[in-house]
Structure 1
Amino acid sequence: MPVVAIIAAGELLHFELGVACEIFGNPPREAAQGWYEVLLCGPGPVRVGPFLVEPAHGLDRVASADLVIVPACADVDVPPPADVVEAVRAAHQAGARVASLCTGAFVLGAAGLLDGRRATTHWAHAEELRARHPLADVDPDVLYTDNGSVLTAAGKAAAVDLCLHLVHLDHGAAIANSVARRLVMPPHRPGGQAQFVAAPVQVEGEHVLAELMAWALGRLERPLTVADLARRANMSPRHLGRQFRSVSGQAPLQWLLAQRVRRAQELLESTEESVESVARSTGMGTATTLRRQFKRMVGVTPDTYRRSFRGAR
């Protein structure tokens, strides 16, 4: 069972700490066995927004963790506590993955883990992170970065995306999507998306698109068009486009293509289906089309993705 150490020290922002505890500390039913053992680690009681939190474990437990999560610091002008910096550095040297959420990147920077690596943080603090750690390649325009053993996320919703990305790496797309559904949000966004894209909105209950999206997800193998979607939603194609952009930041066919690629990821991870079969099952039509769109959105070909994912597992 992988050990996740969530650091609670200094003054923290409660959203990012809560995100880490919720995602890693609450296993979905499908993955109850072999989930994570979560340790909240710190030197003593810590102020988290209006709350006072007392970690159950000391910082000495951080060095033996498999994954270390560094939540957002409330004030980047206050230097990170030296004992926290040393604990994070020791954990990384021992082989742990270290991930920062939002301004937690300043802790990683102080530990020297961002030098020579691509990193991000909330756009409002990106210039300060770059000035303080000039050897880091700070990219303020992405949701999160993954350097293998060092990962960083931008603010708020991007922290959710990075945590889901880690679940995806460890347990596969199907489990990550199950966690996303529990949070009542779409599957995690790829890290390369811009911080300024329209944020995912909860599409559930009586929302005008809730039934339509569920209907489309059940028919991804079919050649759906905007006219098909508009007819099902009983609205004009133009009005449908406005609705989709307001909740997802994407046009209807862009959203549909993203769902086809995500379904292809699940099939490549969990089945032995050929690329040709996956293309048919996801409505891509041909293996050539699937390879082109998959490479564009994921960054690698379906065959490479399958080999890399299974190798990592």
Structure 2
Amino acid sequence: MDTFVTISVDSTLFNKKNVDKAIDKAFSEIERIENVLSFYNEDGIIYALNTNGYLTKEKVTPELEYLIKKSVYYSDVSGGAFDVTIHPILNLWKEGLWTEDSERQNEVIRDELSRIGYKKILIDDNGIFLDKVKIDLGGIAKGYAADRSLNIIQDEGFDTVLINIGGDMVAGDGVWKIVLSDPDDPDNYITSFNISNKAVATSGNYERYFDPSKKIHHIIDPRTGYPASECISVTIIADKGIDADALATSVFVLGPEEGLNLVNSLDNVDALIIDDDRNIYRSNNLSKFEDLQFHSNA
């Protein structure tokens, strides 16, 4: 996942060795998930699926089936704004498509778009089959790893926990304050949220870029092949990290109006969206998480 991980545990009433043991187990699980879900790990199940184009039912783990079904679900509800087959398009930009003129970009992207699409993933009683596509679960890996880490630490008897994997956070018991920084001024803030037994994920166009001038950000619209252009930042609050992770990308790609409609149509999901003009959109029930005393004038 190539990112930072922090694990906070309220351990005032517990033996430090037991806490350290639980945290070590969580880090081991994160490493396992990274290896299993890696697009490039030749020993991983994703590599085997992509190389062969299928996995028989006997080789499909419950974990893989869960992750792919989750991915397809969010592809469906977002109308294709989330798509785990997008890797070839990302590669085009990574390898320098941004240096080409617009006509050449259109030609290359149009050709590649015909070769991707989540509807080319088939899951049935015989296994998982890919119709000339490859899958990359990086869009949900951090959220899923955070979920699993929380479960492991709670199974060890520590319920007051906060896991942060590259900005994707899941909280156990207790009330945790999550500060949302201003994308244009990280020393300032937009607002903060008080969460308990919830997950928070943020996607932003300021995080990673394909080009040195930082004009081509990494969140690509699978429907067009170009960087999504309507949002600066999307923060999602959901019950699970995997859901918050997938929805943060989905809503960012959809834009503020469609994205907000999607969030408001789902149970136990809220969002704060900042569009390209710095207008702020809040979902119907976001106020129950916001700390009004910490609220900026944004």
- Greater RCO (Cα-Cα under 8 Å, separation 6 or more): 2
Q: What's the TM-score, normalizing by structure 2?
A: 0.29
The structure whose residues are more often strand, as a share, is 2
The structure whose residues are more often helix, as a share, is 1
